[in-house]
């Protein structure tokens, strides 16, 4: 069902460009001792698309995201990124390769301001020496200003200008989620991973977040892979959906295909045992 899309890319009905495969997960298996968290799962992520991974609690969605971002190393399987097999890497090395992420229970630098948090997303774009930065010499100054401009643009885009200088610890939950998104975006990632971006939000906040995710994808063409267990939200957002249950993949395709998949319906609604 998923090979219905042409390999070299295409344009969606609403005019967004979807490119070729940027990341491919091949037969991933992840175990914690005797517990199999992910069992032989394969899927791919295309450039410019919004790809969702859904499933009931404990299905292994977060584990999958952690495999992509390098926090977990799978026992079996390959991660192919931009056409090359990725060797086992530390999370910070994965981040430097252009994969940014957010966390389910928000991991922000609480003591720092919103602007400083977003600026940490730019760290890997700053290359001038320590001494020249400290002295505020020409090249470093230009570098800081350029990176600051990118950060400010993203802050404007996510409508958090009014809290730029506020320490993150003072912000309410919904705004923190948005700041985390801003920090991840600031890295101008090839793939943006969102771990339950809507978790714990009220309806209004969920709508806001959905809008921002769509806008980010539309405006910057960012490839987004997100995890949710709330099916409704995901179906409206994503181009393609992977469905997981008990560590296995039980469905993969467009939201409509997935919605009509009997195994998915069983996993979500339960099966009558008669």
Partner 1 sequence: MPEQLLFAMEVILNGLMAGVLYALVALGFVLIFKASGVFNYAQGVLALFAALTLVGIMEGQVPFSHLINAIFGTDLHHFGWEIPAIAAILLTMVVMVALAYLVNHYIMRHLVNQDPIILFMATIGLAYFLEGFGDLMWGSDIKNLDVGLPQGLNGFIDETTFNAFGYGFFIDNLDIVASVVAALLVVALVIFAQYTKQGRAMRAVADDHQAALSVGISLNFIWVMVWSVAGFVALVAGIMWGSKSGVQFSLSLIALKALPVLMLGGFTSIPGAIVGGLIVGVGEKLFEFAIGPMVGGATENWFAYVLALVVLVFRPQGLFGDKIIERV
Residues that bind partner 1 (CB under 8 A): 69, 71, 90-93, 95-96, 100-101, 103, 107-112, 116, 119-121, 123-124, 126, 130, 133-134, 136, 169-170, 183-184, 187
Q: Which residue, 232, 230, 224, is CA-closest to 255?
A: 232
Residue closer to partner 1, measured from CB, 5 or 132: 132
We find the least distance from the C-beta atom of residue 185 to partner 1, in angstroms, to be 11
Count of alpha carbons within 13 angstroms of residue 118, beta-carbon side: 32
Strands 50-54 and 223-228: parallel
Q: Percent helix, strand and coil across the chain, each rounded to 5?
A: 40, 25, 35
Tokens 């957010």, residue located: 102
Residue closer to partner 1, measured from CB, 109 or 246: 109
Cβ atoms < 10 Å from Cβ of 144: 16
Q: Which residue, 221, 268, 216, 261, is CA-closest to 245?
A: 268
As a whole number of Å, the CA-based R_g of the chain is: 19
Contact, 229 vs 196, CB < 8 A? yes
Cβ atoms < 10 Å from Cβ of 118: 29
Residue closer to partner 1, measured from CB, 140 or 238: 140
DSSP state of 196: S
We find the least distance from the C-beta atom of residue 114 to partner 1, in angstroms, to be 13
Residue closer to partner 1, measured from CB, 52 or 95: 95
We find the least distance from the C-beta atom of residue 110 to partner 1, in angstroms, to be 6
Residue closer to partner 1, measured from CB, 116 or 257: 116
We find the least distance from the C-beta atom of residue 160 to partner 1, in angstroms, to be 17
We find the least distance from the C-beta atom of residue 40 to partner 1, in angstroms, to be 27
Residue closer to partner 1, measured from CB, 67 or 119: 119
We find the least distance from the C-beta atom of residue 83 to partner 1, in angstroms, to be 21
């Amino acid at each position: 069902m998923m090979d219905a899309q042409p390999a070299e890319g295409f344009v969606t009905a609403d005019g967004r460009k979807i490119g070729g495969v940027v990341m491919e997960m091949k037969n991933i298996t992840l175990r914690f001792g005797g517990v199999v968290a992910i069992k032989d799962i394969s899927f791919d992520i295309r450039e410019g698309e919004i790809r969702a991974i859904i499933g009931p609690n404990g299905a292994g969605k977060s584990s999958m995201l952690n495999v992509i971002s390098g926090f977990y190393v799978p026992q079996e399987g390959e991660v192919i990124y931009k056409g090359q097999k990725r060797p086992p890497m530390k999370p910070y090395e994965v981040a430097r390769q252009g994969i940014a992420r957010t966390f389910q229970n928000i991991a922000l630098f609480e003591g720092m301001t919103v602007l400083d948090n977003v600026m940490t997303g730019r760290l890997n774009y700053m290359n001038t020496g320590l001494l020249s930065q400290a002295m505020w010499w020409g090249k470093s100054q230009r570098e800081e200003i350029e990176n600051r401009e990118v950060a400010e643009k993203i802050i404007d885009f996510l409508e958090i200008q009014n809290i730029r200088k506020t320490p993150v610890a003072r912000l309410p939950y919904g705004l923190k989620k948005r700041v985390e998104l801003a920090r991840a975006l600031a890295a101008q990632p090839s793939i943006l991973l969102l771990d339950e971006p809507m978790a714990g939000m009220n309806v209004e906040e969920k709508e806001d977040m959905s809008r921002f995710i769509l806008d980010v994808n539309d405006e910057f063409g960012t490839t987004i892979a997100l995890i949710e267990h709330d099916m409704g939200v995901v179906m409206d957002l994503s181009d393609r959906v992977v469905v997981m249950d008990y560590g296995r993949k039980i469905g993969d395709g467009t939201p409509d295909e997935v919605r009509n998949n009997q195994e998915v319906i069983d996993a979500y609604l339960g099966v009558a045992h008669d």
